[in-house]
Amino acid sequence: MNYNSTTGLTLTKFLELLDRITEILESRTCASQPPGGRPVVLSLHDQLYIALNLLRHNTRQNLLAHLHGVSQPTVSRAYRRMLPLISEALAFELPDIHDALNRGESLIIDGTDVPVRKHKPAIRTHYSGKKRKHCVNVQVLTTISGRLMLLAEPVPGSHHDRKAMTESGLEELLAATLYLGDLGYQGTDAMIPYKKGQRPGTGELIEHDKAFNDQLAKIRWAVEQGISHLKNWKIMAEIYRGVFHELPSVIQTIGRLEFFRLRSLGTRL
């Protein structure tokens, strides 16, 4: 079994996460029995494997049920049981953003969309005219080396990056910090590229502006790389089919999983 290709984690990382979850369950009463008193059909190993497979590949639950010889509701229960346990086990994986701000670390911000299904409460508010699809907007913060620092709470996809940054609280958080952005963050304190029309006269960019934009683009690739790593968890790249109100916790769990996946064994970035 190739754990890396199916769960997104190496076997070593998978077993480390499994051990953490086992410790959490052993510290609780009735740890061997899932909530509700249902008999154990899948081992803890298989439950974690199924949950990670769903997050990594957005696999259909009925397919996983067939592969494991269980029913689709059993797969659904295993996933819902494991999701908060994974998040709890990795609660301290993401670095403290306040420590980075106190160190004066330079950060990069960008937004990414997570496609969602059409659902009545959000048919209009979550439709992005620019993307031409229903989605949520998630603001991503990385360092200039591409290290993930923060995933903000998702906001409706109809919001552009400037508004999404404000509503998610990042504009206030970064008020006294140097950070880089693209033209979607005009009106904030972000360092953004020059655009045509800023200079008097012809409005064309001068050589200084072009050189500045080129250098800024060479730095901003890091946040694009960070987002591409997040999108490797296909539940964030393909249409989210789960319960809508659970999406924020899914996104935060993905952030913790990605940092856990990237850090060297036994060390923290």
Give the C-alpha separation, 58 to 171, whole Å: 32
Mean pLDDT of the chain, nearest integer: 87
Of 1-5, 13-17, 57-61, 215-219, minimum mean pLDDT range = 1-5
Residues 6+ apart with CB under 8 A from 170: 109, 139, 141, 150, 152
| Tokens 């950070």 belong to residue | 179
Please report the sign of the dihedral spanned by the C-alpha atoms of residue 79, residue 83, residue 85, residue 86: positive
Residue 1 CA from chain centroid, whole number: 26
The share of the chain scoring above pLDDT 70, in percent, equals: 89
pLDDT tens sequence across 196-206: 866 666 678 88
Do 194 and 205 form a contact (C-beta atoms < 8 A)? yes
pLDDT tens digits, residue range 141-165? 998 888 888 999 999 988 989 999 9
User: What's the CA gap between 252 and 230, in Å, rounded?
Assistant: 11
Q: Which one-letter amino acid corresponds to residue 96?
A: D
* Cα–Cα distance measured from residue 216 to residue 239, given in angstroms and rounded to the nearest whole number: 32
Going by their DSSP bridges, the two strands 133-143 and 127-128 should be labelled as antiparallel
The answer to whether 113 and 183 are in contact (CB under 8 A) is: no
Q: How far apart are CA 191 and CA 7, in angstroms?
A: 37
Banded model confidence at residue 214, pLDDT cuts 50, 70, 90: very high
Cβ(238)–Cβ(134) under 8 Å?
A: no
8 Å CB contact between 213 and 48: no
CA angle at 13 for the pair 11 and 18, rounded to the nearest 5°? 90
**Residue 16 near residue 24 (C-beta atoms within 8 A):** no
Q: In the structure, what pLDDT confidence band is assigned to residue 249 with cuts at 50, 70 and 90?
A: very high
Quote the pTM value: 0.84
Ranking 126-130, 215-219, 229-233 by mean pLDDT, the lowest is 126-130
36-40, 167-171, 220-224: segment of lowest average pLDDT: 36-40
